[in-house]
Amino acid sequence: MHGEFKVPGGKLVVVDLDVLDGVIRHARVSGDFFLEPDDALDRIDAALAGAPVSLSAAELAARVSGVLDGVVMLGFSAEAVAVAVRRALTGATSWTDHDWHFLHEGPQEPALQMALDQVLAEQVGAGERPPTLRVWEWASNAVIIGSFQSLRNEVDMDGARRHDVTVVRRISGGGAMFVEPGNTITYSLYVPESLVSGLSFVDSYAFLDEWVVAALRDLGIEATYQPINDITSPAGKIAGAAQKRLAGGVVLHHVTMAYDIDAAKMLEVLRIGREKLSDKGTKSANKRVDPLRSQTGLPRAEVIERMVSTFRSRYGLVDDSLDDKTLRLASDLVESKFGTQEWLARVP
């Protein structure tokens, strides 16, 4: 069995192992990490041998940690080794095991965007579509609230009407996002669950966005992933991610990034509570977000092109387009779900 785990912001950990009668009989850890002293690698391998395959990542990490006295590990950790082992044991796939398709269509209304996310994810889960990266274009101003958020607590509806903002609810959890066409970069990944097999929910966020953090760093931004679901820089938050696991073994992972932002307008539409602001360590919501435009000086289209080029160079991309059937299914979902008051106010 073979498992790989690229530590977000760190190095690649690879584990090859044999299993007999429910027990790891032989394991060999390798990678581009740094480790001292030299015999520490043999200690790690020996610690994994004899481990029942039923052990959790935390239990495997504890076994590895027990042999690390006096050991220096750079670019990886006992936890990273454990994740690589769990990915080997669960038959996890890697990015390059899949033929990735790319969608970047013209502007769509907010409710249709919500529906397209669900339809495309379900198609990937059903094997009707290969794993896909989609970049969105927005046709109008929007606030997108998380699946479990209270409509009245999160949105000032008078402010939304005043600024011609459409309010919609997505199927994933997380917080509200304020969107203006031209000021936002949004993308979705529709991936088989095997890609994140062996990862915790928290680790899967950083894992699925490691490529975009690398792209931002290539643009000169000191981008990092801040658990659970933020991409940030020393200047402020850049993006927020959300996920939904659907039937059929598919993960929907989507991210909204601030290219530019009208913070004053945002604060007239979103109700950002005192607790959330205090949690971010700042008294001003304006300072919580620092957009890509100010950090790069590049046009929005060029930032998107550089991001997509990073994904393409790493994993490959086949350009694709939305077919009539997919659009029809999404339109039907707008009528039955995403465009209805019942869905929008499912948590009043």
Coil, strand, or helix at residue 218? helix
Cα(140)–Cα(249) distance, rounded to whole angstroms?
32
The strand ranges marked E within the chain are 2-6, 12-20, 23-31, 34-36, 72-74, 101-104, 132-135, 142-145, 166-169, 177-179, 184-192, 224-226, 230-233, 236-246, 250-258, 318-319
Q: Which two tokens stand for residue 41?
A: 């690698």
The tokens for 125 are 């889960």
Q: What is the 3-state secondary structure (H, E, C) of 136-178?
A: CCECCCEEEECCCCCHHHHECHHHHHHCCCEEEECCCCCCCEE
| Mean pLDDT of the region 285-302 | 80
Place of tokens 């935390």: 58
Q: Per-residue pLDDT for 21 more than 90?
A: yes
pTM of this prediction? Answer: 0.91
In whole angstroms, how large is the CA radius of gyration of the chain? 22
Phi, psi at 55, each rounded to 5°: -65, 145
Is the predicted pLDDT of residue 90 greater than 90, yes or no?
A: yes
Nearest to 292 by CA among 182, 137, 133: 182
Non-local CB neighbours of 341 within 8 Å, separated by 6+ positions: none
Share of the chain above pLDDT 90, in %: 90
Pick 72 or 248 by higher pLDDT.
Answer: 72
Question: 104 is written with which tokens?
Answer: 């970047």
List Cβ neighbours of 305 (8 Å cut-off, separation of 6 or more). Answer: none
Reported as a pLDDT band with limits 50, 70 and 90, residue 290 is low
Strand partners, 307: none
For residue 277, pLDDT beyond 90: no
Residue 184: CA atoms inside 13 Å, Cβ hemisphere, count? 26
Cis peptide before 144 (omega within 30 of 0): no
In this predicted model, which residue has the larger pLDDT, 313 or 273? 313
- Which domains are delineated in the chain? 2-89 (3.30.390.50), 95-344 (3.30.930.10)
> Predicted confidence band at 287 (pLDDT cuts at 50, 70, 90)?
very low
Instruction: Write out pLDDT tens, residues 104-139.
Output: 999 999 999 999 999 999 999 999 999 999 999 999
Confidence of residue 273 (pLDDT cuts 50, 70, 90): low
d(Cα 8, Cα 246) in Å, to the nearest integer?
25
Please count the other Cβ atoms lying within 10 Å of the Cβ belonging to residue 107: 13
